[in-house]
Amino acid sequence: PRAGQLLTLLIDYEAGEGPGVCWLSPEQTAGKQKPYMYTQGQAVLNRSFFPCFDTPSVKFTYSATVKVPEGFTAVMSATSWEKQKDNTFVFKMSQPIPSYLIALVVGDIVSADVGPRSRVWAEPCLIEAAKKEYDGVIEEFLVVGEKLFGPYVWGRYDILFMPPSFPFGGMENPCLTFVTPCLLAGDRSLVDVIIHEISHSWFGNLVTNATWGEFWLNEGFTMYAQRRISTEVYGLPYTCLEAATGRALLRQHMDATGEDHPLNKLRVVIEPGFCLFLGINPDDTYNETPYEKGYCFVSYLAHLVGNQRKFDAFLQAYVNRFKFQSITADDTLGFFLEYFPELKEKGVDSIPGFEFDRWLNTPGWPPYLPDLSPGQQLMRPADELAELWAADGLNMEAIEAVDITGWRTYQLVYFLDQVLQKSPLPEGNVKRLSKMYPKISKAQNAELRLRWCQIVLENNLEAEYSKVKDFLHSQGKQKYTLPLYRAMWGGSEATRALAMEIFSATAPQLHINVQNYVKKILGLGGAE
């Protein structure tokens, strides 16, 4: 062939038990009747699904023809799909994307429209709940996102509710976000998780980190975008409260690993065999740094500009300049200084203590923290209430004077985090608390259930151990499952026995990586 001539290369291959393709038995699904398969490409797993340049620095369009057995449906992260005869589905993605965003699901799934360009997909037993929870809300978020960051280029924005064993909160596959069924709280209280995945439509999917060592370019900008949309939709106080829970997670992570751990830099040097960060196993230290420290750096850039409207305009120009490309932090920061020449002239990239280089290459706590004080009006009452419940003699009059019926999820989460920090509480207090707030102790909301279970374990409230059991039987999300096994294993003989009992009953329904992490926690010699 001559230089510049197009080649068609045909590769015949088989994909088996690789880590990127997950085969679920019927008991790992919600319906428990039929098997299910899905792929998870991020970060470098799609090489076990199809031959590709498995790096985020290369983008391409794709098409696929998928033949499935009768009674099953296939969906992919594609701009168009059609069903042909013989249960064959044809998909096309017309925009260039990196390999990690190609995703396929085959299962007993159905769909329902929830907006002009959105539908929900789920197993038949979940579709009503999914439609009720998301009807009308997705479009609102998309419209605000477009107003802030420019046109939504992917055509449709559909959401697929995965089986309960899906180990992540969400995966931003273009046109078709995969999410945990834990988001079906029944009261729309967790829809803000969707705002994060929607924000990836601009940051991550349209403008992409060229290497996984600069993952913060995907996640830090997405956290910033998510909180911008949330501020427009829910207001500043609520968004600051959500950001405060994020900051607390970053603090916990840095305390656990040590601030100067090499993972706690924004620019991570990925050594060969350095798999921890890459999510080759979606790692149990679940690294908050690219998300929350990245968010702080983007907030610092906004602070340098000093005007929200101007910074919003910069973000829109940034997306427009680098759309469909893969870039490095040098590209991002170079464009920032080019866009604001007056800041470049002032040398804002080298202000002592806040040097861009220090942000990128020095591990540890962010040099700058955005002001979250507007959240104080929601945090203060929660702090005061937690104080009351931690007291030796309960002042029931003061407690009953606080009305929590109007508190939204993150305010309740913040309250429970404070109670957990003060645990174990004096004898009998948690029992009273449980009785007083069925909204919390009987919640269906996974974020509340996680924290209530942690409080039950920390306070040895044996009467409610069944709630821990029920929660771990109902879902297998890594971020909810591992902390509870750690709490049980770090507790009494009784909680250790509980851990063993729950694990032996639920192991088959967990994702293989999560099974291995739990084995490690329980000293059962899981994979290192």
Residue 42 counted as an annotated binding residue: yes
Strand ranges across the sheet with 73-76: 21-24, 36-39, 104-107, 73-76
Residue 40 counted as an annotated binding residue: yes
Residue 41 counted as an annotated binding residue: yes
Paired tokens of 243: 């950001």
79 residue type, one letter: T
Measured in whole angstroms, the distance separating CA 33 from the mean position of its chain's CA atoms is 28
Smallest CA-to-CA distance from 372 within 251, 230, 192, 239 is with 239
Residue 136 is given by DSSP the state T
Q: Which of the following is catalytic: 291, 295, 300, 437? A: 291
The answer to whether the beta carbons of residues 110 and 31 sit under 8 Å apart is: no
Residue 477 counted as an annotated binding residue: yes
Residue 170 counted as an annotated binding residue: yes
Residue labelled with tokens 């439609």: 131
Residue 485 annotated in active site = no
Residue 479 counted as an annotated binding residue: yes
Residue 393 counted as an annotated binding residue: no
Residue 439 counted as an annotated binding residue: no
Residue 253 counted as an annotated binding residue: no
CA-angle at 129, arms to 482 and 200, nearest 5°:
60
Residue labelled with tokens 């997405």: 222
Residue 384 counted as an annotated binding residue: no
Q: Which of the following is catalytic: 123, 133, 197, 288? A: 197
Residue 38 annotated in active site = no
Residue 159, helix vs strand vs coil: strand
Rg for the chain, CA atoms, rounded: 24
Q: For 87-98, give one letter per residue: b (16+ CB within 10 A) or e.
A: eebbbebebebb
Residue 169 counted as an annotated binding residue: yes
Q: How far apart are CA 209 and CA 290, in angstroms?
A: 12
Peptide bond into 116 cis (omega under 30): no
Residue 323 counted as an annotated binding residue: no
Residue 196 counted as an annotated binding residue: yes
Q: Which residues are annotated as a binding site for Zn(2+)?
A: 196, 200, 219
Q: Which residues are annotated as a binding site?
A: 40-42, 167-172, 196, 200, 219, 477-479
Q: Which residues are annotated as a binding site for a peptide?
A: 40-42, 167-172, 477-479
| Residue positions annotated with a catalytic role | 197, 291
